[in-house]
Amino acid sequence: MYKISELTVADYLVKMSVCDFPGPAAGSAAATAAAMAAALLEMSCDGSLRKSGDNLLLVESIAIGAELRQACLMLADVDMMAYGQVIAAAKNKAGDREAYETAMKGATEPFIQILRHCHRLLDQIEKVIKGSFSRVLGDLVGGAYLAEAAAAASKSGIDVNLRLIHDEAFQNRYQAEANALYRACASLKAEILNQVFSSSRGIHSDAKAVLDFWFEPQNQPFWFQKNQAFDLAIKTNFYDHWVAGCNGLLSDWRDTIEGRLAEIILLDQFSRNLNRDNPKAFAQDGMALVLSQEAIHHPDFNRLPQAWQRFMLMPFMHSEAADIHQVALPLFEALGDPATLEYEIKHQQIIDQFGHFPHRNEILKRESTPAEIEFLKQPGSSF
């Protein structure tokens, strides 16, 4: 039997195209893509090392890249053999279900290992970029895209295989790990792209000031909290920007995805900080939602860090339209933040029950029904 690691690229693609079993398939393709990503990490760090002299991070990254490249190529062969066993077992699936299920489990193992390798690879690429050592950023970005694509293909392979396996404990274990690993891989790729591109994309200086303030670690404990000092800081530094945003005068911020996020934070979050117990707190929700609906389709949305995407989606959660929450739920599921998803589910349940948020009634001069009055007596009924 031939080994995929010994084939030329042309021969590999020909053998895949003719469906000659046992032969390369989705798992080996994912493993090969991951091996290519690892090779790009090696090449980029090697080139940087030659120009910058000794550097422990670069030396470590070259070694890790070589290790992962070899491991992924081996997995391509393992997957090919496992795939062949599935094909053989499938011929007698009705007569020997246990043998078929064992083969499917064996075919699932390479996918989870590829996912683990992709996560480690993306983590190392991020370290190199964060250290600003690489002089070949394009190759590292290309490696990040390949690694995330290999991770996505591997997760897809696991999702499909698990549908054909009846062992519930096996299903739960592999699905949980696959979901967690892929979310981590996607988040790492987004952070890598953000580090590479955000500093050179011409973010409007005022928009950058909003983002720097909002995501400053010392300010994050005040998100979704009533704090007079925090509200005052927003009023002192950003009131004029907020007024401009309310009047639609910040369209030049929208040249970048970061600027769009800053405008959304102004309208969706700062409106609440600046207008406690005032109808103005919710007056800009419609505009913020429109901006969010556009932003989620922006080609750069997925490269934003998770926390940034979270606030990009907040106007969906704040909407009092049931149809909007139907759209919002899968968006928050894809975000990969269980706590935020739980809040969206709670918001959606309230909208489904009452058609609006009862805790806004007093501020908006809406009369509460007896059911809403009882509901508002419950802990956690207000956000």
pLDDT for 55 equals 80
Whether pLDDT at 94 is above 80: no
Q: How far is CA 309 from CA 121, 257, 316, 363, 383, in A?
A: 23, 10, 12, 29, 20
pTM for the model stands at 0.56
The pLDDT of residue 289: 97
Domains and CATH numbers, the chain: 4-198 (1.20.120.680), 205-376 (1.25.40.10)
3-state helix/strand/coil string of 239-257: HHHHHHHHCCCCHHHHHCH
Rounded CA gap, 289 and 271, in Å?
A: 13
CB 225 within 8 A of CB 234: no
Q: Are 83 and 108 in contact (CB under 8 A)?
A: no
> What pLDDT, in 10s, does the model give residues 356-377?
999 999 999 999 999 999 999 8
Helix or strand run (H / E) with residue 340: helix 338-354
Q: Which of 282, 269, 277, 284 is nearest to 363 (CA)?
A: 277
pLDDT in tens, 242-292: 999 999 999 999 988 999 999 999 999 999 999 999 999 999 999 999 999
The torsion of the CA quartet 67, 72, 74, 78, rounded to 10 degrees, works out to 150
Could you give the CA distance from residue 223 to residue 145 in angstroms, rounded to a whole number?
32
> What pLDDT, on a 0 to 100 scale, did the predictor assign at position 135?
55
Distance CA 20, CA 37 (A): 27
Q: Which two tokens stand for residue 369?
A: 């029904």
Q: What are 195's two structure tokens? A: 């580090």
The DSSP-derived string for 140-194 is HHHHHHHHHHHHHHHHHHHHHHHTT---HHHHHHHHHHHHHHHHHHHHHHHHHHH
Alpha carbon distance 47, 61 (integer Å): 12
- Ordered DSSP codes for 201-267: S---HHHHHHHHHHT-TTTGGGTTS--HHHHHHHHHHHHHHHHHHHTT--GGGGGSHHHHHHHHIII
pLDDT per residue as tens digits for the range 1-53: 667 777 777 777 777 776 665 555 788 899 999 999 999 999 988 887 776 66
d(CA 340, CA 350) in angstroms, rounded, equals: 16
